Copies of this chain bind each other. A is one copy, B any other.
Amino acid sequence: MRSTTARPANIHQARLLRLLRDLGPQSRVALGNQVELSRSKLAFEIDRLLETGLVVPDGLAASRGGRRSHNVRIAPSLRFLGVDIGATSVDVAVTNAELNVLGHVTEPLDVRDGPVAVFERVLALVGKLREAGSAEHFDGAGIGVPGPVRFPEGVPIAPPIMPGWDGFPVREAMSQELGCPVLVDNDVNLLALGEQQAGVARSVPDFLCVKLGTGIGCGIVVGGGVHRGVTGSAGDIGHIQLDPDGPRCACGKTGCLEAYFGGNALVRDATALARSGRSAELAGRLESAGRLTPEDVSAAAAAGDAAALDLVRRGGRRTGQVIAGLVSFFNPGLVVIGGGLTGLGHNLLASIRTQVYRQSPPLATGNLPIVLGQVAGVVGAARLISDHIFSPP
């Protein structure tokens, strides 16, 4: 552990740091083309950043006639930690300041074990990454959890699938453990930030990122920023009611999207199919493993099992029904589908698309791509904390 990371002194330095994060090493001239600063002001701010060590020289820039200048890059020694806690697994990654992943570990974990047990595991994984040489220290950490978060305090609030976490001071506790600034957010927001940083949503200011996993949620990006809502529960689309007479949901209500197509509902329906004899593929898998997982449904569908395919398509239709309403309401520029259930693949995507293109107004869907996500939530976690570190005081 070392002394506090230097921080940008003003909005110009913050902007320069984010540009270097996103674009990599740049000449001073190239940086000058991206910001509205006089040449002397730009030189002044870059020199200040060089003095703090947040930026370092990086070889000579290509000659453009006249005196050749040094490229600059963001300090290669900076390290961010990204932690993505899911309902049934955890991802931990270390990135440099350009948000390239230097080390990444993942393992199964039950979020219902509560925060103390979960963070013990997380810290053990962090230790593993440290030993592997990915990082000696961290300049900041972003942590995602599968439930609503009071963002400024970094505290989960009334998270339905996280018993024992309500009010736990994640931000404070982990900041002490790790010795660096920490931000905590809902996992779907991190998925959205990841896509914005390095995935399909770069340069898209308004988009939705729907996460299909054990829970179902939606990251909302408006004008380039995450919309979290007044109590941090924005994007909680898993409990939008499709049919008051539908199946009972873990939340206590009936007919929620999650009660039809969350991870548990999928396993429930697949198990019923296996037992009823309507799916030989699923029955075989159930017999050999004793239980089914979403991956089994995915494999059975890929093997051409009609009942499994039908299950995926029906789930996609339900999901598409909800997304169609969101598209009518929000008129986004892009819809990204991410999360564990995307293993269900193109059958799932096709059903979602069909439903949205059928139900939403043509004006809203005319140029609307609906695509699978590419980037892990841990990258979004690193992006989140780097935005914070690279902010003016």
Contacts and interface: CB of A to CB of B under 8 A. Distances in A.
A359 B253 contact: yes
B328 A237 contact: yes
Contacts of A333: 230
Contacts of A227: 206, 222, 330
Contacts of A359: 241, 253
Interface string A211-252: 000000010101100011111111111011100000000010
Interface residues of A, number: 44
Contact of A329 (B218, B321, B362): B218
A241 B206 CA distance: 23
A158 interface: yes
A148 interface: yes
A324 interface: yes
Given A241-B321, A359-B253, A229 B148 contact: no
Nearest to A241: B359
Given A233-B363, A363-B148, A331 B241 contact: no
A345 interface: no
A330 B322 CA distance: 13
By Cβ-Cβ distance, the 9 closest A-B pairs, closest first, are A229-B331, A234-B331, A230-B333, A233-B363, A240-B325, A233-B364, A233-B331, A236-B328, A222-B222
